[in-house]
Amino acid sequence: MIRPYILAETNWKHLKDEKFDLAILPWGATEAHNYHLPYATDVMEGDAIAAESARIAWKQGAQVIVLPAIPFGVNSGQADIYLDIHLNPSTQFAILNDIIQVLNRQGIKKLMILNSHGGNDWKSSIRELGLKYPEMFLCVTEWFKSNEKVKFFDAPGDHADEMETSLMLHIKPDLVLPKEDWGDGVEKKNKIKAFSENWAWTERPWSQISEDTGVGNPTAATKEKGQDFFKVVCEKMAKLFVDLAAMDMDNRYE
Q: Is the pLDDT of residue 148 over 90?
A: no
**List of E strands, the chain:** 22-27, 64-66, 110-115, 137-142, 157-159, 215-216
Check: CB of residue 152 under 8 Å from CB of residue 229: yes
Angle at 112 between CA 204 and CA 205, to 5 degrees: 5
Q: Which amino acid is at 204?
A: R
Label residue 236 by pLDDT band (50, 70, 90): very high
CA distance 126 to 139: 7
What mean pLDDT comes out for the span 198-216? 95
**Cβ neighbours of 168 (radius 10 Å):** 25
What mean pLDDT comes out for the span 65-88? 97
This prediction has a pTM of 0.96
- The proportion of the chain whose per-residue pLDDT surpasses 70, expressed as a percent, equals 100
CATH number attached to the domain at 12-246: 3.40.50.10310
Q: Which of 115, 93, 108 is nearest to 249 (CA)?
A: 108
120: alpha, beta or left, given left = phi > 0 and alpha = psi -120 to 50? beta
Q: What is the mean pLDDT of the chain?
A: 97
Check: CB of residue 230 under 8 Å from CB of residue 46: no
What mean pLDDT comes out for the span 94-99? 98
Label residue 96 by pLDDT band (50, 70, 90): very high
Check: CB of residue 217 under 8 Å from CB of residue 200: no
pLDDT tens, position by position, 163-177? 999 999 999 999 999
pLDDT of res. 78? 95
What mean pLDDT comes out for the span 81-100? 98
pLDDT tens, position by position, 7-25? 999 999 999 999 999 999 9
